[in-house]
Amino acid sequence: MPDTAALRARLDDVRRRIADAAIRARRDPASIRLVAVSKTVPAEVIRAAFDAGQSDFGENRVQEAIAKSQALADRRPTWHLVGHLQSNKAGKAAEHFQVIHSVDDRPLLEKLDAAAAAAGRRPEILVQVDLADEPTKAGAKPEELRPIFEAASRCRAVRVCGLMLLPPAVDDPNLARPYFAALRDLRDRLVADGIDASMLAHLSMGMSHDFEVAVEEGATLVRVGTAIFGERPAS
């Protein structure tokens, strides 16, 4: 049995810290959505979190998420794909996730749009950006964004609604701040350049160790796992 009281206390603590960070930045706390990243977490723990008022959950594996959504069919949480998406899983992802945070090229976006249209789904999409220029990292480079957003404006099923960032891992959350601020500036520049603001409404950034800094810099979606569910088993 999950320790529901402890889970509830950790959720409340994270929500309070999000609200405090929002108020420090003169933002409305209601403008920030908490995505509880539940990868490796068993379905009954997700159920307990849902019953404690948490509606959004993030997974990084398509197959694992489908199994959990079936186990939780009586609860109907909102499922977010936060991990890298392989092109051959696009069909299943479009069918099962309401929000996909990790689209980083045009062919993948177009494949998702076709799959979503065929399945009668309208998932929300975030475009993952790589601001650190790490050769191994997922994410579109800023100069690659314009063609992606041009393709997004032609999509009929998926709805592109913002940018996602996974900054380089740093110990001090304040060292992530420049990356969060850079994503916000990039968003502002794209809007100033004429890209439809509704396609840039959201910034998905901030994890357990740095979500408060991300909220101070404009995050509207924070992806928090460990601070809610505890340490994951080493993979």
**Binding stretches for ligand PLP (CB under 6 A):** 37, 39, 60, 82-83, 166, 207-208, 223-227
Question: Measured over all CA atoms, what is the biggest interatomic distance in the chain, rounded to whole angstroms?
Answer: 52
CB of 26 to ligand PLP, least distance (A): 25
Rounded alpha-carbon distances, angstroms, from residue 108 to 64, 153, 187: 21, 15, 21
Q: Which is nearer to ligand PLP, 61 or 114 (CB)?
A: 61
CB of 229 to ligand PLP, least distance (A): 8
User: CB 43: neighbour CB atoms within 10 A?
Assistant: 15
| Residue in the shown chain whose Cβ atom is closest to ligand PLP | 225
Q: Is 79 helix (H, G, I), strand (E, B) or coil?
A: strand
CB of 210 to ligand PLP, least distance (A): 9
Measured CA to CA, the distance from residue 143 to residue 145 in angstroms comes to 6
Q: Which is nearer to ligand PLP, 34 or 200 (CB)?
A: 34
Q: Which is nearer to ligand PLP, 61 or 106 (CB)?
A: 61
Strands 124-129 and 159-165: parallel
Phi-psi region of 207 (alpha: psi -120 to 50; beta: other; left: phi over 0): beta
Q: Which is nearer to ligand PLP, 152 or 227 (CB)?
A: 227
CB of 226 to ligand PLP, least distance (A): 3
